[in-house]
Amino acid sequence: MNTFTYSYPTKVYFGEGAAAKDLPAVLAKVGKNVMLAYGGGSIKKNGVYDELMSILKNVGKNVTEFSGIMSNPTYAKVQEGAKIAKENDIDMILAVGGGSVIDCCKVISAQAKISEDLWDFETQQHGSPSEFIPMGAVVTAFGTGAEMNNGAVITHEGKMIKGALWGAFYSFAILDPAYTMTMPMKQVISGSFDALSHCMETYMGSPRETNLSDEINEACQRNIIANLRKTIKNPTDISARSELIWAAAMAENGILKIGKVTDFQAHMLEHQLGAYTDCNHGQGLAVIHPVLYRHMLPEAQAQFARLAVNVWEISSDGKNEKQLAEEFINALSDFIIEVGQPTKFSEMGIAADTDFKAIADSTVLTGGCCKKFTKDELLEVLNECV
Ligand code: NZQ
Ligand code: ZN
């Protein structure tokens, strides 16, 4: 295990009714001006908006609304939110939604505190923001675990980059599985696959021999697979959703990453696919993963073989490591089909004449991956996904 420091700044309030129970006391400790940030309006249809608004009013807050945060949030939307936050002297941002709203607000909280352009400040001057508007998250869609980290994935449309900016950690997160009941099933599946992908991408980093972080990781993967199956079978199974919302948070709260350098090559490729096509994140990952993993097989054989046995419950009897590794990729591919995720870009509406070379060329090559991909090989991967 590598050396590490571990501490966690985000306080989690988990369970049905958590907002009504815990939010008033939390809000009592922050200033009067709260920005309520949300997406395209699902929270107005399912009652979450009304419930939160009534809590905010009851504790005497001045509420400024910032709505319309889109999936794959843009840098322009960040700037719009930062302007509103500055103009209204916002003391706290309450982000209500999935990864897109939660990410967008992380960057707003930093951008509202500096006059320079945050993208240039972080990516050109290699600066780190040090002042933030405090934030709380109310998770309505599980998968990204974005409420548990301080990285935000933002699309800069002018630069054609979907990349990470570093913002603040949330002071608190409300995880109420009942709030996820109205998630479209497509999002339940793609979010769950995203969480599974976070586990796998963490697992595939180094060190590669058995370690405690990976053993906890294997349990998370088994949990996500089992509870996605249960949720598809019975969408009102709140206990399965409780497991999924917490498993997704576990995948991103740092515990699985303790002592590890992570991989995340599939993510880097998918993010650039998103920059060029605005595709659904979890669906893009589902298409890319098996193809990328077949390219990684020689280097990743030992870890894949362990996943076959410890996660996918494949018998090792009479099989060598290579056979088990291949069976892992087959099991993953079969699961993707079983849960109804796409297996080709064409099923996601991504045109065959998309500029895949530009996507591969602009993809970050990750340091933690057991195989060092070249941009040419990433282009081969993308072409095999079409
Ligand atoms: O916008 P509304 O109307 O709220 O609808 C949303 C959106 O259309 C809907 N939704 C959310 N909760 C709902 C609901 N609909 C009905 N009932 C509910 N309770 O779901 C749709 C998708 O939401 P979105 O937030 O876009 O999805 P997700 O949570 O998958 O977030 C995706 C974004 O997160 C980034 C992705 O790249 C993408 O931009 N990621 C962030 C990560 C991080 N910060 O750690 C890690 C991930 O790897 C990922 O890259
Ligand atoms: Zn992801």
Strands 151-156 and 135-139: unpaired
- Residue minimizing CA distance to atom 43 of ligand 1: 146
Residue 1 confidence (pLDDT): 79
Q: Which residues of 281-311 are buried (b: 16+ CB within 10 A; e: fewer)?
A: bbbbbbbbbbbbbebbeeebbebbbbbbbbb
Name the residue of 50, 103, 169, 179 whose CB sits within 8 Å of the most ligand 1 atoms, as the mutation to test its pocket.
103
- Residue minimizing CA distance to atom 23 of ligand 1: 98
Give all domains of the chain, ordered by start, each with its CATH number. Answer: 11-180 (3.40.50.1970), 185-385 (1.20.1090.10)
Segment 32-87, tens digit of pLDDT: 999 999 999 999 999 999 999 999 999 999 999 999 999 999 999 999 999 999 99
Count of C-beta atoms within a 10 Å radius of residue 235: 14
- Rounded to whole angstroms, the Cα distance separating 51 from 39 reads 16
Q: Is the peptide bond before 290 cis (omega within 30 degrees of 0)?
A: no
Per-residue confidence at 2, pLDDT binned at 50, 70, 90? Answer: confident
What average pLDDT does this structure show over 276-282?
98
- Rounded to whole angstroms, the Cα distance separating 187 from 111 reads 29
Segment 328-351, tens digit of pLDDT: 999 999 999 999 999 999 999 999
- Does residue 103's CB lie within 6 angstroms of at least one atom of ligand 1? yes
- Does residue 39's CB lie within 6 angstroms of at least one atom of ligand 1? yes
- Rounded to whole angstroms, the Cα distance separating 55 from 64 reads 14
Closest CA to 176 of 340, 354, 20: 20
- Does residue 41's CB lie within 6 angstroms of at least one atom of ligand 1? yes
- Does residue 253's CB lie within 6 angstroms of at least one atom of ligand 1? no
Segment 114-145, tens digit of pLDDT: 999 999 999 999 999 999 999 999 999 999 99
Residue 333 confidence (pLDDT): 98
- Does residue 143's CB lie within 6 angstroms of at least one atom of ligand 1? yes
- Does residue 51's CB lie within 6 angstroms of at least one atom of ligand 1? no
Per-residue confidence at 380, pLDDT binned at 50, 70, 90? Answer: very high
Segment 168-210, tens digit of pLDDT: 999 999 999 999 999 999 999 999 999 999 999 999 999 999 8
Bridge partner list, 163: 154
- Residue minimizing CA distance to atom 26 of ligand 1: 71
